[in-house]
Structure 1
């Protein structure tokens, strides 16, 4: 069994490819050279982040994130918890 990355997208658990080869295999041919260049030149401590970002491309998660960012830019912070509110109570 190949390694996977796990995340939650739209409220459901999603498994993403967890190897460079598996991520590369899911990409459109036009994206492969850019992906390869980025992965081969990544600082070691950033490799997992870069791999996850590319793996997420096929999921639509970036669209979900963009909707949240647009809402926040518009001033709608409903459902948000301040980063320093570890308990999630909204009373930082």
Structure 2
């Protein structure tokens, strides 16, 4: 998820931080819950409010960290985003 989010940013997607939080959290929810549903382990339609809370909170935290790490790396890079784009273009 973090790699996909970083690649979209390098490709030019300039969304707000809140949008990136939402997209990364939603992506994590989908990636983890689809196999659970497909395997018949559980189904969100049967979940209580407490079940939803215990599922959403860790994914929201994941979203915050997933957005925060690339932002922090970019901020500490000597040339910022330009250096990251050059490295991606070279494939290194």
TM-score range with shorter-chain normalisation?
under 0.3
Tell me the TM-score normalised to structure 2 length: 0.28
Ranked by relative contact order (alpha carbons within 8 Å, sequence separation 6 or more), the top structure is 2
Q: More strand by proportion, 1 or 2?
A: 1
Tell me the TM-score normalised to structure 1 length: 0.28
Q: More helix by proportion, 1 or 2?
A: 2
